[in-house]
Amino acid sequence: MNSLYVNRVASVRSGGMGGVAEPRRIARRWVWLGAMAVRRSLAFGYATCVAAATTCSLAACVGVLTDDDALKPDAGAGRGDAASLDATTLSDGAPGPDASVTVLDAAGYDSGAASVVDAHAGVDTDAGDLPVAPFHVVGRFVDTASGPMFAWPGTQIHARFSGTGITARLDVVNRYVASMDNGPSLTLTPISVANGVATYAVATGLAMGVHELVITKRTEALVGLGRLVALEPQGGVLVPSAAPAGRRIEVIGDSISAGYGAAASDPCSFSADTQSEADAWGALAATQLGALRFTIAYSGIGMYRNYSGSTEAQMPVLYDRSLADEPALRWSHEAAHPDAIVINLSTNDFATGDPGAAFREAYLAFLRKLRGLHSNAFIVVATSSMLTDAYPEGESRRTKAIAALTSIVSTRQNEGDTNVELLILDEQLASDGYGCDVHPSKATHQKMALKLVDVLKRKLGW
């Protein structure tokens, strides 16, 4: 049995709206020991036990690396190289998992396997041919020897298990919520932290039987990378289930869509505890519509220029990444085609004044790119709820932004893309309160979500 050691180096990225800065990521070295081989389906990115069992615990579904080539990119897939995670270590600075930890995720690590997969890659949801696995990651992630890693907010882990409870071990830097048996989402609080891994008693005292679990990453990439280390049922095992399927919404945005400050009330500043993508408008709308969501959002980001004024690493650049801060890890957009794409970008572009024609051209180029990637998706271009004409006085930033987006949508429609619409969101009201740093409150997010739900129901018949 081989051990795999992956060295990682420090990386720093400046934040955006609200002046947030990502914590410095400290170089770490991870140790992983596998216990038995698993078989991967490259078409779907799932792992199944070699043994044809009807139930499968994580302890029986860990992988063995027999060759370092397992971390090389799949030449045929054109996807990310997990070995290039040199700059994407978790930001807590603690040592990696102890070598005795052998209960890991169910993803296999065959030599030459694609290292970037999606929970729905290649799935025809109407055909009933859904891959079965002990758990499913819904969103963009990268397979590594220390478990699946993910960065974008709203990434979910879906699992079915038998027993009376379940414990989860995840990274220590992010914040998570969990829903059991389609019940309300509750914030997870660790019962212990060791070696950079937080242990959560997700559920206890359940009636003996089969239960459904969904864990959601509340926080965004600038907080740090998320990582699933283990799922451990009490009095039972993980029960393989089909991949989640159905309606899909992709939400592309900035701090608003990432739920910046949505878990608190102003005055407050950004922190992992005050952020909640699960309370943001895109997530709320998806829940109301019974849709899976894929949130590609980053605080401070713009379409043409970021809050910092930088015209580098804007959304059109980050959109192609599996992990937000890793340029080398490219996402395969064929992995999942959304039914609807919702874009809420302009707040940071206009935060320091009118960006002019460059904003319009960047936005149009991105819309054309999206149409090329997702030919059948309905695209919603939403205005900002944060921009206002009241401040700075005389600059009319909200009016100018709406005019620019109206022109952009009109241009695309005149170019023949009739499956794109403008959604004018109301300006947030002081009477609804504010989240941290005057970001939308939960009440404002709910109002925004209702408008989006109305549009998607009308257009898509949901």
What is the arithmetic mean of pLDDT over 80-101? 30
What is the arithmetic mean of pLDDT over 438-453? 98
Give the pLDDT of residue 25: 23
Give the pLDDT of residue 145: 83
Give the pLDDT of residue 146: 81
pLDDT over 60 (residue 128): no
**CATH number 2.60.120.260 is the correct assignment for the domain at 3-242:** yes
Per-residue pLDDT reduced to its tens digit, 136-183: 999 999 988 888 999 999 999 999 999 999 999 999 999 999 999 999
Q: Which CATH superfamily is domain 248-460 in?
A: SGNH hydrolase (3.40.50.1110)
Give the pLDDT of residue 130: 64
Per-residue pLDDT reduced to its tens digit, 295-339: 999 999 999 999 999 999 999 999 999 999 999 999 999 988 999
Per-residue pLDDT reduced to its tens digit, 12-24: 222 334 333 322 2
Residue 393 binned pLDDT confidence (cut-offs 50, 70, 90): very high
Q: Which of 440, 89, 86, 407 is nearest to 283 (CA)?
A: 440
pLDDT over 80 (residue 185): yes
pLDDT over 80 (residue 435): yes
Per-residue pLDDT reduced to its tens digit, 277-299: 999 999 999 999 999 999 999 99
Give the pLDDT of residue 129: 56
In the chain, residues under CATH classification 2.60.120.260 are 3-242
Give the pLDDT of residue 412: 98
Lowest mean pLDDT, pick from 72-86, 191-205, 238-252, 378-392: 72-86
Residue 216 binned pLDDT confidence (cut-offs 50, 70, 90): very high
pLDDT over 50 (residue 1): no
Give the pLDDT of residue 193: 97
pLDDT over 50 (residue 117): no
Give the pLDDT of residue 95: 27
Per-residue pLDDT reduced to its tens digit, 349-380: 999 999 999 999 999 999 999 999 999 999 99
In the chain, residues under CATH classification 3.40.50.1110 are 248-460
What does the mean pLDDT of the chain come to? 77
Per-residue pLDDT reduced to its tens digit, 32-47: 112 212 222 212 222 2
Give the pLDDT of residue 82: 35
What is the arithmetic mean of pLDDT over 170-197? 96
Q: What are the structure tokens assigned to 256, written together?
A: 């608003």
Give the pLDDT of residue 392: 95
pTM: 0.77
